[in-house]
Structure 1
Amino acid sequence: MRGALGLAFLLMTLHVQGHDHSRCAVDDWGRDVCLPASAQRIATLSPGATELTYAAGAGEHVVAVVSYSDYPPEAKNVASVGSHTRIDLEALVGLAPDLVIGWVTGNPAEQMETLEALGMPVFYIEPRTFEDVAYTVERLARLAGTEPAGQQVANDFRKGMAELASRYSGRAPVRTFYQVWDQPLMSVNDEHLIGQVVQLCSGENVFGDQQRLVPRLDDEAVLAANPEAIIAGGMGEESRHWLTHWEQYPHLAAVSDDSLYFVPPSLIQRPTPRLLEGAQLLCEKLEQTRQKRARAFSMNRSS
């Protein structure tokens, strides 16, 4: 199969010959990736990669995506080449991409090696900090020749996150449990991007010191930590039912203070510019808990 794929890729790349406007960027493996010209046919191999490529202003050049690439809405109309964990290589090569955007820890290594062996340019990304998100948009825009659009998005994201940091800096800490999954029960530590959002909002992640980026837990661990706020995420947009689980523990601080919140996971669990919107929501939720705490303290003093 590799021989047939290689021939197909050779034929479809002939159209780039003759261009001398090379585009180069360093990917998240630290490799210099250079194209002979701006990418015109891009394959994005994770939902996050899809969203970041569109954010960079290169959406009209995306010819292949993987399952769950649902934002922006027009990405749903792009040909799918499997999932981020299992790529349909023949379908991908048949779409003749001149740039593949891979995810550092999400794509199957063997299949990615096959693509590179065929000579297909692969640019690996995986933002892990706020600055990484902006920088990734800039690099993708560089490769696609859409620098003005990408730079604007990157600048707006940096500015928005800086404003949030300034607004919530010094606020009273709120002991927070972010639930990233229900079965098994999972959270994040302080190194995780979501953990960084909690800190940005002056929240205190009750599992922030865990060694694993995404630690597995049980109810007893949450009860022992006794968070003042519980925020649920998940894979879809209908994970509010996760919060009802905690209502069986009325003595849990977050339950007694009615501080059980939901933030749409697509806004906070993907490292894309929409993280700004998710961070704004999370900060607002924690501020609600602060206000509840302040009112309770005032009532106790007056009684």
Structure 2
Amino acid sequence: MRVPRRLLAVPLFAVLAVSGCASSAPEESEAAAPSEGFPVTVTDARGEVTLDEAPQRIVSLSPSGTEILFAVGAGEQVVAADEYSNYPDEAPTTDLSGFTPSVEAVSEHDPDLVVLARDAEETASQLDQLGIPVLVLPAAESLDDSYEQLRLLGSATGHADEGAAAAEEVEGALDEIVAETRDRLGDIDASYYHELDPGLYSVTSGTFVGQVYSLFGLRNIADEAADTAGGYPQLSAEFVVEQDPDLIFLSYPGEEAALVADVADRPAFDTITAVENGDVVRLDPDTASRWGPRVVDFAQDVADALLAAEGGADAEEAA
């Protein structure tokens, strides 16, 4: 089950925020935004922010933020988005940087609200001096953080009801995928390794990515690392081989066959259960790293991998 279209129509370290390609921005136009219920006060990474009126010209410099804005019904209010905001198709992607924003370039879009990722927080004070309202959104550390940002951006843009409904629907869709998978497979007794890049950076269960796996009852080998580095440890090849995960998930760009072959070619990796059984899965690096509504797609990909692994095991036993 993919996330309902009505959520999407209306998108380490660096990989968790950037992945995609730029396109030229459409002509800017004024968007009519709901104004009832304003002023509103919301809380972002810096504290309370009060918006006197519903923003009609939003610049989003966060791919996850862009996806959330469209999910809560504020897409028509977005006049520009950063270079990596490649989803949905109608997102007004530009060459604006979300990492090192140019205040001058952002100002040219005449925004009445700018959405920034936490990495670009220093830019917020410069925009404050220009009188431009700013919301700084940290990377979600949990699924609850993801739901809260749906509600926050809904409230901040005049779509409070839509934001609350989107959060509820995403959570419900995740629960349904997990329930259906567990109904088919029963108790899942399997371990996994999630690889953020070929340097063997991974995620622990304390991240929002790890929490998705935890919903299925999977065991994360990265939780056993000596230094979890704030939830994103760099593992050693020896550690991964020793932990012998049942599944390996690759979450970075590249052609799947080539990436899977590269993993199998690493010294001693051919002895890992996941490699031996063909359970090395390349995930979409965007849906597996952004904490917006497409986290449902990520969960579905995990469910599909579990079902495929079970099917392979059944076939092997039958043979």
TM-score by length of 2: 0.79
Equivalent residue for 2:170, pick from 157, 169, 177: 157
Aligned residue for 1:7? none
Aligned residue for 1:87? 101
Whether 1:194 and 2:214 are equivalent positions in the alignment is no
State the Cα distance separating 1:134 from its structure 2 match.
2.1
Partner of 2:271, secondary structure, is coil
Distance of 1:239 and 1:26 partners within structure 2: 42
Query: What are structure 2's unaligned runs of at least 5 residues?
Result: 1-34
Equivalent residue for 2:310, pick from 279, 286, 290: 290
Equivalent residue for 2:116, pick from 93, 102, 121: 102
Equivalent residue for 2:223, pick from 195, 204, 208: 208
Q: Deviations over 1:17-43 (max 9, x none)?
A: xx8952424334262211111111111
Whether 1:140 and 2:153 are equivalent positions in the alignment is yes
Alignment of 1:120-131 (within 5 A): 120-126=132-138, 127-131=140-144
Identical residues among aligned pairs (%): 25
How many aligned positions are there? 275
Partner of 2:222, secondary structure, is coil
Aligned residue for 2:295? 275
Partner of 1:181, secondary structure, is coil
Equivalent residue for 1:171, pick from 182, 187, 195: 187
- Matched AA of 1:32: E
Aligned residue for 1:114? 126
Distance of 2:289 and 2:316 partners within structure 1: 32
State the Cα distance separating 1:275 from its structure 2 match.
0.5
Larger Rg: 1
State the Cα distance separating 1:237 from its structure 2 match.
6.2
Aligned residue for 1:221? 239
State the Cα distance separating 1:155 from its structure 2 match.
2.1
8 Å Cα contact 2:42-2:156 kept in structure 1: no
- Matched AA of 2:246: E
* Range moving further from structure 2, 24-33 or 38-47: 24-33
Equivalent residue for 1:52, pick from 63, 68, 71: 68
8 Å Cα contact 2:82-2:98 kept in structure 1: yes
Aligned residue for 1:10? none
- Matched AA of 2:165: Q
Rate the CA distance shift 1:20–1:194 in 2: closer, same or farther, 3 A.
closer
Distance of 2:110 and 2:306 partners within structure 1: 47
Aligned residue for 2:196? 180
- Matched AA of 1:171: D
TM-score by length of 1: 0.82
State the Cα distance separating 1:119 from its structure 2 match.
2.6
8 Å Cα contact 2:288-2:298 kept in structure 1: yes
Query: What are structure 1's unaligned runs of at least 5 residues?
Result: 1-18
Whether 1:69 and 2:89 are equivalent positions in the alignment is no
- Matched AA of 1:215: P
Aligned residue for 1:262? 282
Distance of 1:92 and 1:229 partners within structure 2: 43
Partner of 2:56, secondary structure, is coil
Higher relative CO (Cα under 8 Å, sequence separation at least 6) belongs to 2
Distance of 2:171 and 2:57 partners within structure 1: 28
State the Cα distance separating 1:259 from its structure 2 match.
0.8
8 Å Cα contact 1:43-1:65 kept in structure 2: yes
Q: Deviations over 1:192-238 (max 9, x none)?
A: 1111111112211111244221111232221111111111111x364
8 Å Cα contact 2:245-2:274 kept in structure 1: yes
State the Cα distance separating 1:110 from its structure 2 match.
3.0
8 Å Cα contact 2:57-2:78 kept in structure 1: yes
Q: Deviations over 1:123-169 (max 9, x none)?
A: 12232222222221122111111234333322210111222343455
RMSD of the alignment, in Å?
2.3
Partner of 2:270, secondary structure, is coil
Rate the CA distance shift 1:288–1:25 in 2: closer, same or farther, 3 A.
farther
